Amino acid sequence: MFDLGGKAAVVTGAGSGIGAAIARVFAARGAHVAALDVDGAAAERTVYEIRSAGGQAHAFDCDVGAAGAVAAVFERAAATLGGLHILVNNAGIAHVGDIEHTFEEDLDRLFRVNVKGVFLCAQAAIPAMLRQGGGVILNMASIASLIGIPDRFAYSMTKGAVHTMTMSIAVDYMRKGIRCNCICPARVHTPFVDGYLAAQYPGREEEMFRQLSAYQPLGRMGTPEEVAHLALYLCSDEASFITGQAYPIDGGVLVT
């Protein structure tokens, strides 16, 4: 089950955290992975880990918010991998603040990566998928696209857009062999979280980490690998009857 042998998968934001975990899990299940990241060195590190474990992967430096770069990288990736069966739109950035503490440049910065980036990558992937008879697109949304979260105005807005893009793609392409779903995580312990705590709460990292963990009723943050295994299911043939859905992985947040 959950075999991705013979599948070519593009994972954006694959240099660290959830994206790196997805790239590793997919490769371990037989996928030939294109690891994309704006930090080319980080993508190379993920590829090194995959190859060291016996998997197949190639690294690509890509700014998902730049149309020309996305088109060129996807063309190269499809040629290198021999097709394109799976796209995981994972690349994203965050912002903390309510509407009074969100400035135009914040909105533009988040929109460029979290919304435009998903749009451009999906737009580049779909023609290749149509040529081969279908494929799977998986977008990384957030529980912030399903409920209100304090001080996440701009971030929630962009993840709401990811959720609705997911439904639109699913409806438009379900009869053309392309499935599209999204994952909605609560807090996941990634290097981003550690960096945020170090920058915003120097000397109080452990205290704030406990507070962030306690937000989830299960009492902890998720792990990148837990998200990656849900991604594996949704991108596998075992999920072939699922499209247009938003899957929370939230430690119980939505049921309390």
The band of 192, judged by pLDDT with boundaries at 50, 70 and 90, is confident
pLDDT at 163: 98
User: 87 with 54, same domain?
Assistant: yes
User: 227 with 216, same domain?
Assistant: no
pLDDT at 244: 98
CA distance 132 to 38: 28
User: What is the DSSP code string of 196-241?
Assistant: HHHHHSTT-HHHHHHHHHHTSTTSS-B-HHHHHHHHHHHHSGGGTT
What's the pTM? 0.97
User: 90 with 198, same domain?
Assistant: no
Domain of residue 91, CATH code: 3.40.50.720
Percent of the chain with pLDDT over 90: 97
Evaluate whether residue 217 is within a structural domain: yes
User: 172 with 197, same domain?
Assistant: no
pLDDT digits (tens, 9 = 90+) for 91-149: 999 999 999 999 999 999 999 999 999 999 999 999 999 999 999 999 999 999 999 99
User: 246 with 176, same domain?
Assistant: yes
Number of separate domains in the chain:
2
The band of 256, judged by pLDDT with boundaries at 50, 70 and 90, is confident
Evaluate whether residue 21 is within a structural domain: yes
Residue 200 has pLDDT above 90, yes or no: no
User: 37 with 143, same domain?
Assistant: yes
User: 248 with 149, same domain?
Assistant: yes
Evaluate whether residue 114 is within a structural domain: yes
Evaluate whether residue 36 is within a structural domain: yes
Q: Which of 155, 196, 215, 233 is catalytic?
A: 155
User: 76 with 192, same domain?
Assistant: no
User: 167 with 200, same domain?
Assistant: no
User: 110 with 195, same domain?
Assistant: no
User: 215 with 229, same domain?
Assistant: no
Mean pLDDT of the chain: 97
User: 158 with 212, same domain?
Assistant: no
56-61/178-185 β-pairing: unpaired
48 is an active site residue = no
CA distance 104 to 148: 21
For residue 239, what are the contacts with CB-CB under 8 A and spacing of at least 6? 179, 181, 233
Range of the domain at 26: 8-186+223-255
The band of 167, judged by pLDDT with boundaries at 50, 70 and 90, is very high
